[in-house]
Amino acid sequence: MIGTSALLPTPERALASAFLACSGRGILFDCGEGTQTAMRKAGVSLMKTDLIALTHYHGDHIFGLPGLLQTMGSLERTRPLYITGPGDLAEAMDPILRLTDWVPYEIRLLPLPEGGLPLSSLDGRWPAGASLSAFPTVHRVPSRGYCFRLARAGRFDPARARALGVPQKLWGLLQRGEPQTVDGRVVEPADVCGAARRGIKVVYGGDTLPCPALTAAAAGADLLICEATYAEDESAPMAEQYGHTTFRQAAETAAEAGAKRLWLTHFSQSVKDPEAYLETIAGVFPATECGFDGKRTALYFED
Ligand SMILES: [Zn+2]
Ligand SMILES: [Zn+2]
């Protein structure tokens, strides 16, 4: 988690943002004012960002973009940077790109296809099973959340590979999900691997009311990062008015979705100590944790 604050940055919390790293590649979710500084504090290299996924175009989620884009230019980035977001991305990015001026790398606006985008199509160093998809959320402006998946192939079967005449040097590539040509014939990963195993799923909700699409996206997620702007149940009407979520509603979403872990973020500045409110929702979803700037975890395949 790069930042965990809603609306305005405070001395303790940068604006809500998160970074997902996988095989040395990276996705930055949202980029409010000060995100680049917060990334440095969190020990996350700006230059590992391949894709910036914006949840919506409120200032607290995008005002950091011109600075971040310029800094990447100053650090002599040359490989392309992708940016995706809801609604009319080109229109939303127009003033930002004009402010940013010239940079020595290409900025590519990226529509996410229905059903998700294999990230290896952006850069071959992403693992074959990594993908990003978006789902609509309910906020005051067009908004969406993101679901990152890392699929896991079935167990490799050396006997089947030998029977098909696949040389050992290609085994690893097939295990990574890449079809190989052997003696002019294509061998698919499924030809030499058992049934697919459970992969990894991370969901970043963005600003939203609790909504069915978020619950559906978070089904079985290893980690759900959900906004929880307001800590107290009494704030539910205000949360509804402004298109936000309370601690309890976030925990209920995670419970209903059968997620494994929930991290809360996007705290109102009135929530001075988020941890202090966890006991008020005890039992709703026990694997609830409050986010803080620099909080991190590593997720691994089962077994
Ligand atoms: Zn916000
Ligand atoms: Zn917002």
Q: What is the pLDDT of residues 9-29, one digit of tens each?
A: 999 999 999 999 999 999 999
The closest ligand to the CA of 242 turns out to be 2
Active-site residue among 60, 207, 222, 293? 60
Q: How far is the CA of 141 from the centre of ligand 1 (A)?
A: 11
What single string gives the DSSP state of each residue in 85-137?
A: -SS-HHHHHHHHHHHH---SS-EEE-PPPTT-EEGGGT-TTS-TTEEEEEEE-
Q: How far is the CA of 6 from the centre of ligand 1 (A)?
A: 5
Residues of the chain with CATH 3.60.15.10: 18-153+196-290
pLDDT higher than threshold 90 for residue 61: yes
Q: How far is the CA of 268 from the centre of ligand 1 (A)?
A: 9
pLDDT higher than threshold 80 for residue 7: yes
What is the rounded average pLDDT of the residues 203-226?
98
pLDDT higher than threshold 90 for residue 214: yes
Give the Cα separation of 149 and 166 in Å (integer). 29
Is 156 in a helix, a strand, or coil? strand
pLDDT band at 196 (very low <50, low <70, confident <90, very high): confident
The closest ligand to the CA of 138 turns out to be 2
Give the Cα separation of 235 and 281 in Å (integer). 14
| Residues 104 and 117: beta-carbon distance below 8 Å | no
Of the chain, the percentage scoring pLDDT greater than 90 comes to 91
pLDDT higher than threshold 90 for residue 297: yes
pLDDT higher than threshold 90 for residue 153: no
Summarised one tens digit per residue, pLDDT across range 157-181 is: 999 999 999 999 999 988 877 899 9
Q: How far is the CA of 169 from the centre of ligand 1 (A)?
A: 49
Say what the pLDDT of residue 76 is. 96
pLDDT band at 303 (very low <50, low <70, confident <90, very high): confident
Ion ligand 1 neighbours (CB, 5 A) are 60, 207
Q: How far is the CA of 56 from the centre of ligand 2 (A)?
A: 7
Q: How far is the CA of 74 from the centre of ligand 2 (A)?
A: 30
pLDDT band at 114 (very low <50, low <70, confident <90, very high): confident
Summarised one tens digit per residue, pLDDT across range 177-187 is: 789 999 999 99
pLDDT higher than threshold 80 for residue 150: yes
Relative to beta strand 180-182, strand 144-152 is unpaired
The closest ligand to the CA of 8 turns out to be 1
* Whether residue 157 lies in the annotated active site: no
pLDDT band at 79 (very low <50, low <70, confident <90, very high): very high
pLDDT higher than threshold 90 for residue 101: no
**The CATH classification of domain 18-153+196-290, taken from the options 3.40.640.10, 1.20.210.10, 3.40.50.2300, 3.60.15.10:** 3.60.15.10
Give the lowest-confidence range in 175-189, 210-224, 264-278: 175-189
pLDDT band at 198 (very low <50, low <70, confident <90, very high): very high
The closest ligand to the CA of 139 turns out to be 2
Task: Please state the φ and ψ torsions of residue 100, each to the nearest 5 degrees.
Answer: -70, -30
